[in-house]
Amino acid sequence: MGEPEMLQTWLYVGCYTTATTTGIHVFDASDPEGRLEHRSQVDDITHASFLAVSAGRDTVYAVSETADRGRVIAYRRSAADGSLERLDESASHGSSPCHVSVDGDHVHVANYGSGTVASYLVGDDGRFARLVATRQHDGSGPHPRQAGPHAHCVRAAPGGNSVYATDLGTDRIMRYVHEVSDEDAAMSLADETVMTPGAGPRHIAFHPDRPVAYVVCELDNQLVALDVDDKGRLRQRHAVSTLPAGFTGASTAAEVAVHPDGHRVYVSNRGHDSIATFAVDRPDDPPKLLEHVPCGGRTPRHFAVHPSGRSLLVANQDSDSLVSFALDDHAIPHRAEPVAVVSQPVCVVFVEAER
């Protein structure tokens, strides 16, 4: 048996922008140890705060997080050099869009400012075919930042028709259901999961093998594990702090991700400026905190595990840095290595493609 075919890996970095800075950077990230080589950039987007890649890996979607005219933009990705070419764009149907995800031939967007979510059908070429639905969230919470709804993430569960929208402002997770026929497509609200008052659910991630979802709550710094039943309904099972015992400083949790092998969950803490690693080996036990590792900068808004599973890359927004961590044999980050300087990085997405 021959050696496995090498895979080319690209990294796309979304950034908040000024008049003189770049919205999206493109790096060659084929080195599984985390080293990067800058290849190109995209300057035609303002505040590219979140990115997502199509299932075919040939289209990258980005939201432009502007308060007055939110947009979602599709870029064609070059297989040769990873560069991006603007393909299409649409209104985000709300203000300050902060999240985008891809679910087959659907693209979903969360608008933080207006508390709305939007779903689109896209064609085989990656262009927006039509708007399927917009949904307005309602409500508030006890925290000063919860005067109204703030949709923060919208993501489909693997292998089903449920789409989950976390709302930081209302302490709820909305579950929507796709209804698709030969003639039409729609998205309707199926149910809501009520979280702890003041929690501020921000992002959701799914276990690769088990019917379990993990939600990071920004305002109370909790990692919440929820069971997912056969209809897609959520039931909270465990909640654990993302911060060290006794920590009293200001901090807000940001991103949550599951290692590809399913044994570790990671959370970033802004303020404490750390990456927390949790063991989730035992399905019935709460996530077990293993270690906090300094993020190597300030305000780790986002991070991603390299497709090889051997390193983790952190976007430190307020120190303008990308920092790579090797993952040891227990998938715990160590050996922080600054690998690039970019202005206000807020989202990192790897794309693996055959050479």
In-domain check, residue 108: yes
If you count them, how many residues does the chain have? 355
Q: Evaluate whether 121 touches 132 at the Cβ level (below 8 Å).
A: yes
Single-letter amino acid code for the residue at 152:
H
Q: What is the mean pLDDT of residues 278-297?
A: 96
What confidence tier does 333 reach under pLDDT thresholds 50, 70, 90? Answer: very high
Query: Is 1 inside any structural domain?
Result: no
Q: Is residue 345 assigned to a domain?
A: yes
Given a cut of 90, whether residue 69 has pLDDT beyond it is no
Q: Alpha-carbon distance 35 to 27, whole Å? A: 10
Total domains in the fold of the chain? 1
Whole-angstrom distance, CA of residue 25 vs CA of residue 84:
10
- In sequence order, what are the residues at sequence separation of 6 or more whose Cβ sits closer than 8 angstroms to the Cβ of residue 212? 206, 225, 226, 227, 228, 237, 280, 283
Sheet holding 274-279, edge to edge: 252-258, 264-270, 274-279, 288-294
| Residue 121's CATH number | 2.130.10.10
**How far is it, in rounded angstroms, from Cα 236 to Cα 161?**
20
Strands 48-53 and 264-270: unpaired
The confidence score (pLDDT) of residue 1 equals 39
What is the pTM for the complete model shown?
Answer: 0.96
Report yes or no on 305 lying in a domain: yes
Amino acid at residue number 337: E
In a domain, 2, yes or no: no
What is the mean pLDDT of the segment spanning 287-307?
A: 98
Q: Please indicate, yes or no, if residue 296 is contained in any of the structural domains.
A: yes
For 101-143, the pLDDT digits (tens) are 999 999 999 999 999 999 999 999 999 999 999 999 999 999 9
129: left (phi over 0), alpha (psi -120 to 50) or beta: alpha
Give the separation between CA 180 and CA 161, rounded to whole angstroms: 10
CB 146 within 8 A of CB 200: yes
Structural domain including 145 reads 7-354
Which amino acid type is present at position 161? N
Tell me, what amino acid is at 66? Answer: T
In the chain, DSSP finds a helix count (H) and a strand count (E) of 0, 28
33 phi/psi in degrees, rounded to 5: -80, -5
**Predicted pLDDT of residue 190:** 97
Place of tokens 């009293």: 248
Q: How far is CA 125 from the centre of its chain?
A: 24
Count how many Cα atoms sit within 13 Å of the Cα of residue 159 in the half-sphere of its side chain.
Answer: 11
Domain annotation covers residue 38 = yes
User: Which pLDDT band, with edges at 50, 70 and 90, does 12 fall under?
Assistant: very high
